[in-house]
Amino acid sequence: MATTSRRLMARTRRLDPADPRHDRPLLDLLPGGESLSWVREGEGLVGWGCAARLDTSGAARFADADSWWRRLCGHIDVDDAVGLPGCGPVAFASLAFADQPGDSVVVLPEVVVGERDGVRWITTVGDPDSAPTTGSDAAELAREPLRQPGTVSYSDGWLSATGYRQAVAEAVRRMRSSGDELRKIVLAHDLLANTSEPLDERFLLHNLAARYDNCWTFAVDGLVGATPELLLERRGYEVRSRVLAGTAWPHPGRTDDEIAAELLSSEKNRSEHSYAAESLAEALRPFCSELSVPSAPSVLRLRNVLHLATDVEGKLADTPTRSGSPDLPGVPDGSGLLTMVEAVHPTAAVGGTPTADAIPAIAELEGMDRGRYAGPVGWIDGAGNGELGIALRCGQIEQQSTAGGVSGGARSAPGVRGGPGVRGGRVRLFAGGGIVPDSDPDLEVAEAEAKLLPVREALEGVL
């Protein structure tokens, strides 16, 4: 389902240093209600309001989102006085991991505030005939006080930790008996967090950004997280990706340097990582005239875990080998960001190797709908630029019915999730890892537990 076919105007202006929003952290500007965010180390984009929205599903979700965004941009007049990536019309996107049911969403906000390279700007989207606005008055009037979630309790989701251990053991058995035909399956499980008070997305965003400043803190349609993995960034003719696979976590009595050295020397983790980096490069190479893939990974250190990381960089070919629509100004035929994202998703980092065999195994072994967890999430602009990460270290805020169950009805008061009369909220957390033939099920359960910490600590307000 898509909203709006009317003509729109997107106006972008640099914020004056005297404007009180110029120096405030981006996340502090969110007024409440449905938050939109893509922020890392203080820079990025936040948005609110909805000028247009697409809800799509199934195997065609990427093509649907791409064609909808191209058509919509054709109905938007642009007055951009800044001219940086992320200016003009910007949509926030969150696409499902799997084709079925594949429920996905793209939102064009009414207001976006962005910062890049020390430049702070604001974009407003609305009726072309309306008077220009800076969005300040409406935001200030609508801003709700930041609300804490109260007491947090946990319960099993669709796949418990015990069930996850069994799924890992079965995946190991299948790979060992496959004769090297199936080399990696990336499994996950979920955990339900129940809160005594309604949930405010901004509470999670603030806490995640404070603890994981070098991750991309995101929020789109209730999916909130802080991902360390950049699936694909496009800026003009340049593309970039950060591949993560291979994980270790802190242990008492061992320094981070010791753990990092062990991670780099681990045959299991290096093998898992090479599958992921190779799959990304193979899928991206047809779009590029140049592609640089380091011969060895580095170590990315986070608060809760350490990852093997490879940064892949490329330059788009003038005449890409894939077909597409040239509707976006300055975007060569077939090299639109969503087209490329569809080609690279899922990488072996979140799918497996070979991907075509691993994906059906994931659905069978997990027995749950991941939703938009491990799917692409981020933003795209009207010039074809954008950043989409992999939705990891995240939780899906679920609406509560008045009886305490989960409901799909309309949302309630700004800044919270839940129907009238509901006291608490619920978040569905996800975590998992890459399973290879020599994986230890007990260690994989421990790794998933470590990866659940970011959202658990954010909910609980742990410093």
Give the catalytic positions in this structure: 184, 229
Whether the Cβ atoms of residue 157 and residue 189 lie closer than 8 Å to each other: yes
Rg (alpha carbons) of the chain, rounded to whole number: 21
CA distances from 227 to 10, 283, 308 (A): 29, 21, 15
Which residues, 6+ apart, have CB-to-CB distance to 303 below 8 Å? 211, 212, 453, 454
The number of beta carbons lying within 10 Å of the beta carbon of residue 261 is 12
CA distances from 158 to 154, 162, 190, 395, 413 (A): 13, 11, 6, 14, 28
- Nearest to 110, CA basis, from 7, 6, 11, 201: 11
Specify the long-range contacts of residues 289-297, CB closer than 8 Å, at least 24 apart: 289/315, 289/316, 289/317, 289/318, 290/314, 290/315, 291/315, 297/246, 297/264, 297/270, 297/273
Cis peptide preceding 101, ω within 30 of 0: yes
CA distances from 173 to 165, 179, 180, 435 (A): 12, 11, 12, 11
Cis peptide preceding 354, ω within 30 of 0: yes
DSSP H or E stretch at residue 309: strand 306-316
CA distance 208 to 394: 10
**Tokens 């939109």 appear where?**
36
Whether the Cβ atoms of residue 224 and residue 149 lie closer than 8 Å to each other: no
Helix, strand, or coil here: 175? helix
- For 367-463, strand residue ranges (E) read 376-381, 386-390, 394-398, 425-435
CA distance 170 to 137: 57
DSSP H or E stretch at residue 292: strand 288-292
- Nearest to 221, CA basis, from 58, 380, 64, 93: 93
Whether the Cβ atoms of residue 381 and residue 366 lie closer than 8 Å to each other: no
**Tokens 């983790």 appear where?**
269
Q: CB burial class (10 A; 0-12, 13-18, 19+) of residue 305?
A: buried
CA distance 239 to 201: 30
